[in-house]
Amino acid sequence: MDLEEAKEFRERCTQCDAVSWGLTDEGKYYCTSCHNVTERSREVISTEAIPNTKIQAINRGLKRKRKLEKGWDWYVCEGFQHILCQQAEALKTLGVGPELKNEVLHNFWKRYLQKSKQAYCKKPVYTNRRKAMVLEENPSQSDWDSAPELLSDFSGPTFVESGAESQPDDHIRKPFPISKASQSETVSVCSGSLDGVEYSLRKEKGVVKMTVPSTLAFCYLALLWQRETITLSDLLRFVEEDHIPYINAFQHFPEEMKLYGRDKGIFAVESWPNYEDIHKKMIEVATFLDLPRFPDITEDCYLHPNILCMKYLMEVNLPDEMHSFTCQVVKMAGIGEVDFLTFDPIAKMAKTVKYDVQAIAVIVIVLKLLFLLDDSLEWSLSTIAEKYNEENKEDKPWFDFRKWYQVMKKSFDDKKQKWEEARAKYVWKSEKPLYHSSIDRSVVYKRREMVVNLQKQFSTLVDSTPTVEKKSPSSFQFNWTEEDTDRTCFHGHSLQGILKKGQSLTTKNSLYWLSTQKFCKSYCKHVTTYEESNFSLSYQFILNLFSFLLRIKTSFLHEEVSLIEKRLFKKKYSKTKKKSSRSRKVRK
């Protein structure tokens, strides 16, 4: 843009009546006040002012220079494609198989581009405003096997190639058909992408609009299809620990992909991903893509509640013997069946199991069955276990709930404090500055350079310690070993003090209280409510501990516990329904 060259143009703007013009990269005049682009372009009147050079060569040189400053012509969907490529590569480094990127995620993304009519159709939505005709005769039909054959001309960066480094080459076929001058000229003033303004305003019924959180929904769908050993809570925790690109993922775009203006609102994220939101988006995306039934979740699969329960029992330092109780609860509640666990998006009621939350909820129910968690029975059982352990030091120790609580409370508080400190210190600003228009680019970069220089000078003055290196990712947040003398490991402790003699699965405690007496009506957004003051301190601690482990709200876990209890204690709930109906009749 050259404001000096535009001074000769003195007409008033048709939109705002201002006389303040600049030149676009294509040589057209635009209003610096309202960014209205006119059809008038600057013409070179005389060639005599440029000696020894042909005017055509000069024009060619100016165009090349401006093209380099402007960067590539790219669409918003290509930006999301880059982010998905980065996330897929990050998952590969975490141990996920390469077929997740090259086959599964690749096909999901191609299917999305076709369903949203952004590619693989005769008239993509961004070439003109008419409705695109999809190549399939029946777009709603779920024809998974034929999809890859339809999608043969995939754009760079592809998932199959190592892909985030596309080379600018005029001979390479462009990924998406680029429209004539009118669209790119109008949009380039307000956004780096060709369709940034149009995309931010687009609201088409029945089409799932792509966002940065949606990229995690795509990744989790691919992980679920492959039945990988990464749950949704693990995925979001890896994002939080910066092992998977999400916050400021756009700064890894190629230098030629200029990003500013409306692109900022599309690709800049200023909050951490939420479990419930990503889970809902995952179902929404799978339904929109019309995906078939996912591979079965069988007993030998990592996502089966029996295996996940064992994993979480180890992580929160509970006895191994509790696993037989969790398996019994899973069987009685009927939540271990293949049909219940397997995700089927094309079913009438498309929903998927929250595998990690469900497994944790089962453990909470088992703890209630064993210890009641009423701030009374668990402490009296702890006194009995403590007395036995003192008198029989050579025997296998009985599980002491009070001692476990003290050990876990200290570890939980330390871990949570570090987590809160890390969140407070997190730098949200990207290394690659964002600006509202290309006119502001130089100013923003100068300011950013000043800030970086000041930070360096300040750090040398205060002699700040170097930043700690990023820890390697792990499936476990808490680690417990018998060799650790500072903290007690309860994995090998016995439950004999809680069970009846000679009966391995019968507890001394015969009481149980339901987490929810009455569920909300169908029109409510939630199943039940959770008020801490209505529950025992032991139950509150258990929920807070496990909620932190999964990075979810305590009310969300309480809701899952209530739903499993509803399946487990059908008779109790039927009795409460009868009582409530009788009381209504008496009132009448």
Ordered alpha helix ranges (H), 159-274 = 181-188, 196-201, 212-226, 232-240, 262-267
Please give the C-alpha separations between residue 202 and each of 32, 162, 357, 533, in angstroms, as whole numbers: 25, 31, 35, 46
Contact between 407 and 416 (Cβ < 8 Å): no
In angstroms, the CA 311 to CA 331 distance is 18
Taking each helix axis from N to C terminus, what angle separates 355-371 and 377-391, rounded to the nearest 10 degrees? Answer: 70
588 residues of the chain, pLDDT tens digit each: 455 666 677 787 777 777 777 877 667 777 777 667 776 766 544 444 444 443 344 344 444 444 445 578 889 999 999 999 999 999 999 999 999 999 999 999 999 999 998 888 877 776 544 344 444 444 444 343 333 333 333 333 445 443 333 333 433 333 444 333 344 444 445 777 888 888 888 888 888 999 999 999 999 999 999 999 999 999 999 999 999 999 989 888 988 888 877 888 899 898 999 999 999 999 999 999 999 999 999 999 999 999 999 999 999 999 999 999 999 999 999 999 999 999 999 886 667 899 999 999 999 999 999 999 999 999 999 999 999 999 998 899 999 999 999 999 999 999 999 999 999 888 887 777 665 655 566 666 666 667 666 767 666 666 555 454 567 788 899 989 877 778 899 999 999 989 887 666 678 888 899 888 777 766 566 778 888 889 999 999 999 999 999 999 999 999 999 999 999 988 666 665 555 444 444 334
In angstroms, the CA 280 to CA 277 distance is 5
Give the type of residue at 17.
D
Residue 210's nearest CA partner among 312, 341, 67, 113 is 113
**SS3 per-residue string spanning 275-332:** HHHHHHHHHHHHHHHCCCCCCCCCCCCCCCHHHHHHHHHHHCCCCCCHHHHHHHHHHH
For the entire predicted model, the pTM comes to 0.77
Give the type of residue at 533.
S
In angstroms, the CA 364 to CA 458 distance is 49
In angstroms, the CA 446 to CA 538 distance is 55
Give burial (CB, 10 Å; 0-12/13-18/19+) of 420. Answer: exposed
Q: Which residues lie closer than 8 Å to 418 by C-beta, 6 or more apart?
A: none
Residue 13, CB half-sphere, CA atoms under 13 Å: how many? 17
In angstroms, the CA 396 to CA 148 distance is 59
